[in-house]
Amino acid sequence: MYIKDNDTQRKKEIYEHITMVNIFSLFIVMATLILGGDFFQEELYTSIDIKVIFFLMISLISFTLILAYLSKNRSTQKKKFITKYDVFYILLFTLGAVFALLLVGDKFYFAEVILLLPIIIAASIWGKRCGLLMATMCTFILFINYFTENTLGHFWQGIGKNLIFISIMYIVGWFIGAIADLEGNYRRSLTILAHTDSLTGLYNHRYFQDKLAEYSETATKESPLSLVLIDIDNFKHYNDSFGHIAGDDVIKKVANVLKTTLNDQGFVARYGGEEFVVVLPNCSSEQAALVAEEMRYRVSKCKFMGHRYQLEERITISSGISSYPSHAKDIKELLKYADQALYRAKSMEKNKVEIYFSIFDNLELGENEQDVLNTIYTLISVINAKDRYTYGHSERVKDISMKLAKTINLKAQDLKILAQAAALHDIGKIEVSRGVLNKVDKLTDEEFIKIKNHAVWGSEIVKEIEPLRPASDIILYHHENYDGTGYPEGLKGEQIPILARIIRIVDSFDAMVSNRPYKNTMSKLEALAELKRCSGTMFDPVLVEDFINMIREEKIKKYNI
């Protein structure tokens, strides 16, 4: 931040100096024309000379143009291209100096010095080349002036006497232009330093935030802004195995792959740690997914030191994608939704690209129901902050439940209700404290009652929204056991809705294979064996068989079976 503040102050001071030089140069040109034109005569004290008014108006207009131009071009960095406004601006001073020299130059001693003004201005704004070019132009003007006023012999004699002045014009153009170029190069170096991550050479987090805000101002539905958040999978495992130096090499190599894959579509920045972010203006989420998929593929094919000892026997990345304005209403939401999509990709399978979506996006809601849904969004965010496991667990339960439901050919309407219920089945845990949710020791009777009540609380929350009401019963009964020993109502067998029976199986399976502070993680085969053992008591035996067959046949990558 210090570099940026110092650079801003330096830029402001240079701008002030250039502005003063331009205004003072204008004053000299106009004063030369007025004084040399004998405008201040005795008659002026008794009458108004129209020429004085004309020159005052020209001075005022020129002054305004100077301020307008310099305000538009406050940067002291050298431009790649000279615009028509640049040409018009320098012509303003050049013509003023030429008129002063040709019209009233004979009334001032060594009036040719006025030609230094456009040289100084051109060199200070556009650098050495433009300064030398303007010096050449002013030399040509000087030749014309001598040629029109003298014979050929006197012309060459006059030019010979002014060789020193001509040399000075070139020296001024070269020296001031060189200083301007050095200043511009210095400022560009500072800008690069302030915007670049020292490890990877990518843009840093500050540059990313600034450009994201800039791009969001012009993004529309027809020209959306997409964000890809990328994380290196199992990077902590690699760091712990091979050390931080090797880990840094992985980060640098992945960064290079991402940068070379992107080309000129947008830019890549290091978000922090082993995370990267890709900003894609004028790009839909589907187009961004193609870019992210290509990045994922290229990284997975790269060879890194010790990659065979990784959990996947290679280095991989996962990506989450969101778009503005189709997904998010501002850049804060854009980042949040990309992060949620990334977390979903990592919690499910890793080495995967996920586009953000919400099961609530297409609900037809009344005004009051929209307020309740906004509250549910807030509750989900609170649960996510309170217990990240619950959020990831709900996402996994939703995805695997949908796979099982499609395997047994449930109807489309049932699939929609199942997706909503599975995503929200633990929302009632908002009423349970963080300490109870993450408690390592055995729960007290009072604490266990609170845990059991989360199904009732969740059902009551969801029931407030008419389009979600069918999912409320599924949430209420997702802890009922097939033999009637579950809660809250002790339903058994076919009394339990089939969607609740599906969630009961998937919920238990994911809990068994997930790492939690209060229990040991089972292997995937052990979890399947436990489902089989409890088939007919806790779980629907037919659905258990369907689930086991689905896992074995599809070989879900997450569970590596």
Q: Which residues 6+ apart lie within 8 Å of 311 measured at CB?
A: 233, 234, 237
Query: How far from 361 is each of 265, 331, 333, 380, 467, CA to CA, in Å?
Result: 29, 18, 15, 15, 12
Beta strands 275-281 and 267-272 are: antiparallel
Query: How far from 298 is each of 219, 240, 432, CA to CA, in Å?
Result: 29, 24, 44
Do the beta carbons of residue 315 and residue 232 sit within 8 Å? yes
- Catalytic residue, from 274, 275, 349, 354: name it: 274
Do the beta carbons of residue 542 and residue 496 sit within 8 Å? no
The secondary structure of 92-113, three-state, reads: HHHHHHHHHHHHHHHHCCCHHH
Query: What span, in angstroms and rounded, lies between the C-alpha atoms of 463 and 540?
Result: 26
CB atoms within 10 A of CB 241: 13
Query: How far from 123 is each of 11, 12, 135, 175, CA to CA, in Å?
Result: 17, 19, 9, 8
Query: What span, in angstroms and rounded, lies between the C-alpha atoms of 306 and 220?
Result: 45
Strands of 275-281's sheet, edge to edge? 267-272, 275-281, 225-232, 317-324, 353-355
- Is position 274 annotated as part of the catalytic site? yes
Do the beta carbons of residue 114 and residue 100 sit within 8 Å? yes
Q: Is 155 exposed, middle or buried (0-12, 13-18, 19+ CB in 10 A)?
A: middle
Residue pointed to by tokens 């992060």: 339
Query: How far from 93 is each of 25, 27, 114, 132, 529, CA to CA, in Å?
Result: 8, 11, 10, 16, 88
CB atoms within 10 A of CB 38: 10
User: Phi/psi zone of residue 325: left (φ > 0), alpha (ψ -120 to 50 degrees), beta?
Assistant: alpha
**Buried b / exposed e along 51-88 (16+ C-beta atoms within 10 A):** eeeebeeebeebeebbeebbeebeebbbeeeeeeebee
Task: Write out the E strands in 198-265.
Answer: 225-232
Task: Write out the E strands in 305-459.
Answer: 317-324, 353-355
Q: Within its chain, how far is the Cα of 97 from the centroid?
A: 48
CA angle 450, 452, 457 (to 5 degrees): 75
Q: Which residues 6+ apart lie within 8 Å of 339 measured at CB?
A: 229, 320
Query: What span, in angstroms and rounded, lies between the C-alpha atoms of 365 and 374?
Result: 11
Of 547, 487, 485, 541, the closest CA to residue 512 belongs to 547
The residues carrying an active-site annotation are 274
